[in-house]
Amino acid sequence: MFRFCSILLLTLLPLAAFAGPDGRIRVIDGDTFEIAGQTVRMHGIDALENGQTCTTDQGSVWECGAWSTQEVRARFQGRYAACQQVDIDRYDRIVARCAVDGADMGRTIVRAGLATAYRRYSMEYDLDEKAAAVAAIGIWGAQFTAPATFRADERAATLQGATAPDANCVIKGNISRSGRIYHMPHNRDYERTGINPANGERWFCTEAEARAAGWRAARN
């Protein structure tokens, strides 16, 4: 009996460890929310960035990234979500599947044409995206760059010419959704991290200088 209970406990523990968070939703953007004080990135979907635009068939430019966020906020702000953690991303955000009143949030968002299916990580919403695209719902009523491609282009533009002004000051003080994080040359994301002084980002000469300015060390 003891052996059986021990095996059962070991089987249940991983599920319990990945439960949540549950709580009221504060919408950050089309695929990212604050729930129970934690930043949650929806698993399997990828919304347009707030700065993205779409072009209609008539040639008009549409602020579709900001529109997507507004629509998701109108649907979910303040509602109660129950989530199941899937992973932690490189920005230290919880990646999770979430439901509101029993309905999968990711599926609702993709079906409404407010985000794309993020096939790099999941095929779960592939058919939902295809249905929205065929019906030209939401963002599918215009032409747009895939969110992942848009971010890659933005990073490339930021990184171009992003060299330390002083060879002795090579610590990158980056600002992301996770806050102010400094990256050392040995860190995993150092090379891909760009510094844009116009956004308050900066270079540091020492870790002590970075910490004193309010930045924290990257975890990888």
pLDDT at position 73: 98
Do residues 79 and 24 make contact, with C-beta atoms less than 8 angstroms apart?
yes
Query: What tokens appear for 169 in the block?
Result: 């000051």
Rounded Cα gap, residues 44 and 180, in angstroms:
26
The Cα 113–Cα 79 span in angstroms is 20
CA dist 105 and 20 (Å) reads 14
pLDDT at residue 157, rounded to an integer: 63
Task: Answer positive or negative: Cα dihedral of 198, 199, 200, 206.
Answer: negative
Token output for 158: 């930021």
Q: Tens digit of pLDDT for each residue in 79-112?
A: 999 999 999 998 889 999 999 999 999 999 999 9
Per the structure block, which two tokens stand in for 202? 């900066």
Using one digit for the tens of pLDDT, what is the confidence trace for 138-162? 999 999 999 999 888 777 665 554 5
Higher pLDDT, 195 or 61: 61
- Give residue 195's pLDDT band: very low, low, confident or very high (50, 70, 90): confident
Amino acid in position 114: L
Q: What tokens appear for 98 in the block?
A: 């979430």
Q: Are strands 216-217 and 54-55 parallel, antiparallel or unpaired?
A: unpaired
Q: Where are the alpha helices (DSSP H) in 64-215?
A: 64-76, 105-111, 126-134, 147-159, 207-212
Predicted pLDDT of residue 159: 59
Strand 19-29 to strand 32-35: parallel, antiparallel, or no bridges (unpaired)? Answer: antiparallel
Q: Tell me how far apart the alpha carbons of residues 65 and 71 are, in angstroms, rounded to a whole number.
A: 10
